[in-house]
Structure 1
């Protein structure tokens, strides 16, 4: 199915970008060395990884080719500003129709709707990581998290997650969609940091 600016997954990606903007808003340069829920990454490295992931999404939406899938974070002079700019570009890109058809990632074709869904999960969950690190601790919005949970079963199936995702963690009793989402992707809702479940 070709994607357009009104496809359900484009809307999810836009809402994830909105959440990311809210999560990044309170971050200051003095916070960049803070630990994050990803044990290997401080807040600066997490922001750079988010920049890299968004750049890959923008490539996919624009050129339908992701030549350099997100990988190790690349240093930037001002990672906080770079991340804000990337999120705003992603938000604006969701207001324009995509080109439709498969997106080539590396040398493999990927359904464009799956790319959008995966991107929404990536942006929303890393926005949650940022918010935890800066102390604001914003939850993933309930309606966004509820819509993203089914996509996680395709993106990170429990029997084929490594090395991109950590093992699911048990969600607290009575957990809402936001806590279930981050727990499913290996984040501790409350507790110590661990290996980053990208």
Structure 2
């Protein structure tokens, strides 16, 4: 029997891939939006949020490659579309994580060791900022319940109260009838948006 032996993708990377898919769907809704509109992220407008998402993806790529998390200052061409920049960086991070863990090449050893940590934090970051982008764009699309439930389980284990400053606000109480997305968003310090519902 011939062919490349494929190793099982770690659960963290599989969850990250699902969260990245959600974030990329949110980014696809940006072209019709005003980049100066407000977002759920304090004083950030949509443009600032998109560039932060790009920077976060770059930082997580660095974590996956080196084991160190630092926020880079990436070069961006003048007039670059911030949604396109964010999309490209998210796709690069996704490729870095999946290629580091999905095969048995000897040169992926260190990356394979660092990838799960980058994927765990990255899944939460991309999902919540994907929600921020969708909310800023006025999208009614919501996160798949199974994805939101898995992300909430990961967030509860990773986001401790003393680690919130500078990353997430204090949790807020979700509505009594909150769906999985609303519970996740509330845990991460955002108020669930009214009127969002699952599309057909």
The total of aligned residue pairs comes to 180
Tell me the alpha carbon deviations over residues 47-93 of structure 1, each in whole angstroms, 9 at most, x when there is no partner. 00100010011122233333x2379x987632121112112222333
Distance 1:25 1:127 in 2: 10
The answer on whether the counterparts of 1:5 and 1:94 sit within 8 Å (CA) in structure 2 is: no
Deviation of the 1:97 alpha carbon: 2.6
1:69 alignment partner in structure 2: 71
Pairing 1:46-195 to 2, within 5 Å after superposition: 46-66=49-69, 68-69=70-71, 77-78=79-80, 79-98=82-101, 99=108, 112-158=115-161, 160-190=163-193
More strand by share: 1
- Cα distance in 2 for partners of 1:111, 1:6 equals 13
Using structure 2 for the length normalisation, give the TM-score: 0.78
Which one has a bigger Cα radius of gyration? 2
Where 2:39 maps in the other structure, the secondary structure is: coil
Structure 1 range deviating more: 177-186 or 139-148: 139-148
Higher helix content, 1 or 2: 2
Gap runs ≥5 in structure 2: 1-6, 102-107, 195-200
Query: Which whole-Å CA distance do the structure 2 matches of 1:23 and 1:166 have between them?
Result: 22
Q: Once the two structures are superposed, what CA deviation does each residue of 1:111-149 show, in whole Å capped at 9, x if it has no partner?
A: 653331111000011000000001114222211111111
Aligned: 1:10 with 2:20: no
Indicate the RMSD between aligned Cα atoms, in angstroms.
2.7
Bigger shift: residues 149-158 or 8-17 = 149-158
